[in-house]
Amino acid sequence: MSASAPRSASRPERAVRPERSVRPERAIRPERSVQPERAVRAERAEPFRLARQTLRPSRLRPGSRVAVVAPSGRNDPDLLAEGCRVLAGWGLDVQVMPHALAAHPDLHYLAGPDADRAADLEQAWLDPEIKAVLCARGGYGAQRITDRLDWAAMAAVPPKIFAGFSDITALHEALSLRLGVATLHAPNVAVTSFITFPEAQQGLRQALFEPDCAASRVLASDGAQWLVPGRAAGLIAGGNLSLLAAGLGTADGRQASHSGCGFAGCILLLEDVGEDCYRLDRMLTQLLRSGALDGVAGIALGTWANCGSPDTIRRVMRDRLGGLGVPVSWDLGFGHAAPQSTVPLGVPAELDAGKGTLTFLEPAVA
């Protein structure tokens, strides 16, 4: 996906029907009041010191309260209701935040004004009764709200589970770099690829409730190959290539390696959707030229849905990443192609590009 060319991931042309309720059975708590719109505090966007210690939130249990937020694109009310029914079926107390079905008055691709989307996320994170924050969908908009969040207040409370992917990569990066919290690169819960694929549901459920499950410790796929053979160890980071490139040099993105905020020592995950090969080339070149990839330990490539011929994409990846001299694996299965995997971020792992496996040495959830 491109940060410069927003696209919707689930029926964007369909108008949101405000009269439809998204309270499946009694699983969703009544909406709560939200803070009035406030000005962005400039000091929140100042450079910060990289969090050095990884914090792992506690696992969920039956009856745990979770919040569903919409930090990016607009949501379909039917899909949101279906996703919440899945979560409620796991015994969770689901609270849909007030603006999850909102629409921006001028920009149709956003789920409401920036201040409202930020307030929902901040309120969910600061609420001591909420144990996990699950994103409804991606699209575009997460970058627009990061400077509006009160990171000092969010750092002062215990960490909680955060899950989502695609545009949500911007928030994974912010939570990792600012707070040092391990998160889940996981299916968004209000999209068809989560609702219609039991494998996607099972992967997220295991990560939330049974993080020590052996099935969750190794990521592999039938199509896995190596572009550069070898083994590497490091902390898992990354996600959507477009968002990683767009975040370079920002307060919540990666910097040159000498700053201590690059991908040095990391196993970097990369995936994307709907990007032509020359755009993939451009974004990889941007990462290389910025110095953010200096010292990277290894690279695990996921799926490249609607990005062109797999052979051409492989050639681009080998051309741009092969010179780093680190193991590079091809097609470990995570990303936009269904069924979507749940992958922990911010935890130590071992990549064996020759075998096509990524082994997580500990889960993101304690």
Which sequence positions are flagged as catalytic?
A: 166, 271, 336
Q: Enumerate residues 6+ apart whose C-beta is below 8 A from 156.
A: none
Pick the closest to residue 354 from 222, 226, 220, 221 (CA basis).
226
**Degrees to nearest 5, angle at CA 311 with 308 and 317:** 85
SS3 of the chain:
CCCCCCCCCCCCCCCCCCCCCCCCCCCECCCCCCCCCCCCCHHHHCCCCCCCCCECCCCCCCCCEEEEECCCCCCCHHHHHHHHHHHHHCCCEEEECCCCCCCCCCCCCCCCCHHHHHHHHHHHHHCCCEEEEEECCCCCCHHHHHHHCCHHHHHCCCCCEEEECHHHHHHHHHHHHHHCECEEECCCCCCHHHHCCHHHHHHHHHHHHCCCCHHHCEEECCCCEEEECCEEEEEEEEEEHHHHHHHCCCCCCCCCHHHCCCCCCEEEEEEEECCCHHHHHHHHHHHHHHCCCCCCCEEEEEEEECCCCHHHHHHHHHHHHHHHCCCEEECCCCCCCCCCCCEEECCEEEEECCCCEEEECCCCCC
Q: Residue 291 CA to chain centroid, in angstroms?
A: 23
| Residue where the block lists tokens 């709200």 | 145
| Residue where the block lists tokens 């009269």 | 19
Which two tokens mark 302? 């996921």
40 and 147 in contact (C-beta within 8 Å)? Answer: yes
303 and 270 in contact (C-beta within 8 Å)? Answer: no
